[in-house]
Chain A
């Protein structure tokens, strides 16, 4: 069958080129920053960082603080933004497919409100401890996100089934409620207000390899697992009944996907705060490019999300150097219009 081979070629081409773009973007952005490090030097430092390969290059001549900047400040930030971009976009894809709702994003079932409230409590309580280098605020945010998912899920389910509409509504209701509590706390503890706001704005600025190590495995593992369920997601797009008729255990799959996504998003949000738009827009952009088949969509959306987040963060930290713009603003500013542009070109329905 020609079409079989053609499809395979097409897929390989897409993955290959996206991966290449991601790699190039990482290399290029590694040479960009507010510190005035020469391109060649930054490349040397980056290569030196790679295990095994690294010893080829000699960086003894490079200024010590430049090495520190790239190795300890820039590179972890780059890797983190890529991982967060992947996490947000693949969960956006999954939620949109699972809920059959083009407006769904990773935070739709109240996860962001839960995480924000968790972080607020963490900030207000002024706990000093950190586990394995992870601050108590991050931990509270993580559990806030997971707890909210658990709450929303239980509110929405009827015995063993979770009707999609109820899930969405419960998510909105719980989200609003938690946001209200957070706002109240912000006013009650208005001394901490600015700190809370800074957290919710989202940033990769002060992050280190600790955060990268923390989410590296969860995000990549989650990515693989979600891809595993791609066929099920495809079938679910036909409607829950039709999916069941095709042999998909609809309720079980919904639960698994929900848990998986909640975990990925909770991880991501706890390290980087709440960065909007990526999880909503990237799935649509990629879907317009490669179609609705989740078997291609999930890998592709992840890669595009990683590239996009990396570029957005690079802009955020360069454009008004040495000051930085919160990255969530960049994602909104660029994501929105670009999506409108794509939409007008294709003039097709959203899913």
Chain B
């Protein structure tokens, strides 16, 4: 019998401080919802209101048809399990003892655990990879092991809904994925409703079907991962600049945090034109922006990550449609940009027939007497050259004509300054 959670205009205050304001959400049975948001946005408080540990200052939370505040702790516990943020237990209970405590909502006071209860506990321990720890003392476990034990205990309650507050906080990568996969499976196969506060946006995007983005106690976005995870939303919530890629494995959005949004000031006099592509220019562009240079880039293919970052930071750019090679028109534009700049940088772009013209543009720059810096990577060079040596030749020529080779980006920046 599936149960929904209906949150109606929930408000919560700690004393005079408003922590949650006007939160309304209907959680259908079998949902998998992640709640994300910066620290202090009220995520934990929301979970605590749903689990009835806290009492709302306004609004109502209903579990099924009933107001959760009117239900006994036992009734709530039979339907809903909670995995808290901190699971520290300083007592010498064995893991098995702790997991078995998950059966208490289903037992009468004097009833001792039956064989069935032990079986259920064994199953959840196996699911969370904690069966091998069953006789260990819980206060001797690592943070991650303990967290898994707590999750096992929650699952032992055989709940219809599970609330988790940052369940992956102390887990190493394999266990993070394992637990979320487990929850996903239980959600899919057993219809377990999962409501999880996650701090890792990428994990939230990968595993949940619905995301709630909170900031300062309000919902600023909700919907599918694609709907919620946009540059604007993330910037608004976390005040960071990101690039959104697609996770090649799951097809879900994958964010790369760039930097904290701050005003970029142009303080340097010289203009620098960066010839890049394929993501090789991203770091250079960022660093140069930090240094306060005025930049331009080209020629970049639309959709290329360097193209994205240029778009993001409003950098003047020569762009070309992808996969068509560099047209003459764009080539000329590129040369113009070069003429207007004082220094030219060639990033470690892989060399292909498609972007040979970029190399030629750099050669043009040298002839015009511009200072040219380029990233030279010796050993890997051959792999980057898909032009059967034509590109490499040009590079060698560039060097002979006075382009300054740099082995790392750091070196490059140093030399430019």
Which residues of A approach B to under 8 Å, CB–CB? 1, 3-4, 228-229, 231-232, 234-235, 237-239, 241-242, 244-250, 291-293, 348-349, 351
Contacts and interface: CB of A to CB of B under 8 A. Distances in A.
B109 interface: yes
A246 B91 CA distance: 17
Interface stretch (B25-33, B95-103, B296-304, B319-327): B95-103
Contacts of B113: 4
Given A241-B53, A292-B91, A231 B109 contact: yes
A195 B356 CA distance: 107
A234 B77 CA distance: 16
B82 interface: yes
Nearest to A232: B109
Given A241-B84, A247-B78, A351 B73 contact: no
A1 B90 CA distance: 27
A231 B78 CA distance: 16
Interface in B66-96: 72-78, 81-82, 84, 87, 89-93, 96
B78 A292 contact: no
A247 B104 contact: yes
B310 interface: no
Contact of A245 (B75, B82, B91, B110): B82
A230 to B, nearest CB: 9
- Which of A234, A242, A351: most chain B Cβ within 10 A? A242
24 contacts: A4-B118, A228-B109, A229-B109, A231-B104, A235-B101, A237-B89, A242-B82, A242-B87, A244-B51, A244-B53, A244-B73, A245-B51, A245-B82, A246-B102, A246-B104, A247-B74, A247-B77, A247-B105, A248-B104, A249-B74, A250-B73, A291-B93, A293-B97, A351-B91
B84 A292 contact: no
B173 interface: no
Contacts of A1: 115, 118
B139 interface: yes
Nearest to B93: A292
B157 interface: yes
Interface residues of B, number: 35
B93 A248 contact: no
A245 B84 contact: yes
B96 A3 contact: yes
A293 to B, nearest CB: 7
Contact of B101 (A4, A238, A249, A348): A238
B104 A4 contact: no
Contacts of A232: 109
Nearest to A227: B110
Contacts of A242: 82, 84, 87
A249 B104 CA distance: 12
Contacts of B48: 241
A293 B102 CA distance: 15
Nearest to A249: B73
Contact of B53 (A4, A235, A245, A293): A245
A1 B48 CA distance: 36
B105 A246 contact: yes
Contacts of A235: 101, 104
Closest 7 CB pairs of A and B: A247-B77, A247-B105, A247-B74, A245-B82, A292-B91, A247-B73, A1-B118
B78 to A, nearest CB: 7
Given A246-B77, A247-B73, A293-B97, A4 B115 contact: yes
Given A245-B77, A292-B91, 16 more contacts: A4-B115, A4-B118, A229-B109, A231-B104, A232-B109, A241-B48, A244-B73, A245-B81, A246-B101, A246-B105, A247-B74, A247-B75, A249-B73, A249-B74, A293-B93, A351-B92
A24 B176 CA distance: 57
